[in-house]
Amino acid sequence: MSATAPFLNTAPLLIVTDVGARLVRRGLLEPADAAAGGWLRARALVFRRGPVVCEAAPAPARALTLPPVHPTFPAPMTLALHNTLTRRVEPFQPLPLPHARVTMYTCGPTVWNYAHIGNFRTFLFEDLLRRFLEYSGYQVFHIMNLTDVDDRTIKAAAAAGQRLDEYTAPFIRAFYEDRDYLRIRPAHAYPRATQSIPAMVRLVERLLERGVAYRGDDGSIYFAIAKFPGYGRLSRLDTRELKIGARVASDEYAKDDPRDFALWKKAEPIDEQVGAAWDAPFGRGRPGWHLECSAMSLEAIRPAQTLDIHAGGVDLIFPHHEDEIAQSEAATGRPFARFWVHGEFLNVRGTKMSKRFGNFLTARDLREQGVDAAALRLLFWQTHYRQPLDFSDEALDAATEGVRRLSEFRDRLSGDGRRGTGDGRLAELAARFEADVRTALDDDLNAPRACAALFEFVRAGNRELDRGTGSGAAREALDRVMGVLDVLPTRRTADAELERWIEARIAARDKARKAKDFKEADRLRAELRARGVEIEDTPAGTKWRLT
Ligand SMILES: [Zn+2]
């Protein structure tokens, strides 16, 4: 604190980001905290569009309302996220010492089938969140579980006449392949439910000891929701109508019919048949889906008991996340997750995309159709993660064209940028572009606005390049932002044979141009283009690239 005082004395005007300003306007932050980190004693005087001008004031007597910024985090966090718990956009701060990282748990796929692109929309928004936290200087510990035992996997394995692990193995492999195709950064841990049974057994024992779980007359163990007063907080359930003692054994049920849910299901013949039954002090059986996530996340972050962020699709709010909170908090007595972040659905022709409705498209369908992951990522970023997204061929075509334009611009920056001095108009545009992207993503991951800033940079940057200015800084800024959005097209690479063919065509075209046979030169260019080769004539000769 004392380190900032001399600065305040000599600099009466402070500039605060406009994210801070918005938070102040929404009443989420005290003006003095809007500049958390360096300028804690600033007092906001004037609000206007864009940056807020604050005036330094004598140190206020009141205590700070925000927890201290962790010393290993390089910059004060300006990210604000919508928290489903409070239904508000709140400033994000990781837990203070001794937790030197952001812990993020995201509910992973149920590996009973290929994940559809609706599932991947959720995983992609989580990828954006993770990458932006890392871009902002945080170390993130990302955990994603694999649900390899639940009602659906057991039913599907039995129908296929296979053991559970045999049945799920190819879908687990496919999920990793699809993840890599979509350029989703791998999580740091992928706990599998079937490999985490001891942690689940311990959690059930603890809930039984605490009197919030009981054995039903069907031999399964249930969670008594009436014994957990916070039940319904996340999903805003009206708990006045709760039916005390009414039970549900299935993993999925409706919000208007909340009941005591199964933590541990007594082994049935079908479970034994597929190898999905384990011994436990409270009887042989298998875990309920909700229990799995509570046990795996708490196990992964031990000795901590609270996650910084728990994310998933909106369809998981009830019952899955509500039940996760009940199990975890009843066992630990601590808040389970500080931020609950939920992504909206993907629609195809206005219907929620789901295998149940039969309109599903898997990531591998798209890959087999030759869709570039960059186009899909851009398409997803162009709608805010809390808005439903309509998937259509037209939208995908437009995104494909967008990534092509971006790729051309990057190539121009690579070619011309090196000649620039780095301090011209293009460098200014680049600095503004990166600041705009950061401001947009700081504001509850507003990726559509970040994309608008990106294409504004492409337009204005191309104009500057036409004028012959250049800047290495522009290319660097673009590459840093691509570390977050990652929407440059996948590069095709030429094999030796294609390379020889291209060089021969270019040599023939040069010869035709020298002989002033421009018709033949144009024909050769068209021939190259038909095989996806773009050429550009430069003072150093003709350059080519694959599109
Ligand atoms: Zn989960």
Q: Three-state DSSP class for 308? A: strand
CA of residue 46 to ligand 1 center, whole Å: 45
Overall average pLDDT of the 206-212 stretch: 97
- pLDDT tens readout for residues 61-82: 333 333 334 444 445 568 999 9
The pLDDT score that the predictor gives to residue 109 is 97
The pLDDT score that the predictor gives to residue 71 is 43
CA of residue 61 to ligand 1 center, whole Å: 44
CA of residue 296 to ligand 1 center, whole Å: 9
The pLDDT score that the predictor gives to residue 245 is 75
CA of residue 293 to ligand 1 center, whole Å: 5
- pLDDT tens readout for residues 444-501: 999 999 999 999 999 999 999 988 877 788 999 999 999 999 999 987 777 888 889 9
CA of residue 344 to ligand 1 center, whole Å: 16
Overall average pLDDT of the 370-397 stretch: 93
At residue 302, does pLDDT exceed 80? yes
More confident: 35 or 525: 525
Mean pLDDT across the chain, nearest whole number?
A: 84
- Range name among 379-383, 423-427, 498-502, 525-529 with the lowest pLDDT average: 423-427
Give which of 107, 112, 108 is closest to 171, Cα–Cα.
112
CA of residue 105 to ligand 1 center, whole Å: 8
CA of residue 304 to ligand 1 center, whole Å: 18
The pLDDT score that the predictor gives to residue 361 is 84
**Separation between Cα atoms, residue 183 and residue 363, nearest integer Å:** 12
Give which of 76, 4, 11 is closest to 39, Cα–Cα.
4
CA of residue 299 to ligand 1 center, whole Å: 14
Q: Of the ranges 17-26, 54-63, 107-116, which is most confident?
A: 107-116
At residue 89, does pLDDT exceed 50? yes
At residue 354, does pLDDT exceed 70? no
State the alpha helices, DSSP H only, in 223-372: 269-274, 289-301, 322-332, 363-368
CA of residue 323 to ligand 1 center, whole Å: 10
CA of residue 419 to ligand 1 center, whole Å: 52
The pLDDT score that the predictor gives to residue 74 is 46
CA of residue 106 to ligand 1 center, whole Å: 7
62 CB-near residues (< 8 Å, 6+ apart): none
CA of residue 292 to ligand 1 center, whole Å: 7
CA of residue 2 to ligand 1 center, whole Å: 44
The pLDDT score that the predictor gives to residue 25 is 53
Overall average pLDDT of the 132-159 stretch: 95
The two structure tokens encoding residue 296: 């795996």
The pLDDT score that the predictor gives to residue 197 is 98
- Maximum Cα–Cα distance for the chain, whole Å? 93
Q: What whole-number percentage of the chain has pLDDT above 90?
A: 61
- pLDDT tens readout for residues 399-452: 999 999 999 999 898 874 445 554 588 999 999 999 999 999 999 999 999 999
The pLDDT score that the predictor gives to residue 38 is 36
CA of residue 483 to ligand 1 center, whole Å: 27
More confident: 295 or 7: 295
pLDDT band at 9 (very low <50, low <70, confident <90, very high): very low
CA of residue 320 to ligand 1 center, whole Å: 6
Give the type of residue at 316.
L
Overall average pLDDT of the 348-360 stretch: 61
The pLDDT score that the predictor gives to residue 99 is 55
Query: pTM of the entire structure?
Result: 0.78
Task: Determine the distance from the C-alpha atom of residue 211 to the mean position of all C-alpha atoms in its chain, rounded to a whole number.
Answer: 37
CA of residue 481 to ligand 1 center, whole Å: 30
H or E stretch covering 475: helix 472-485
The pLDDT score that the predictor gives to residue 70 is 42
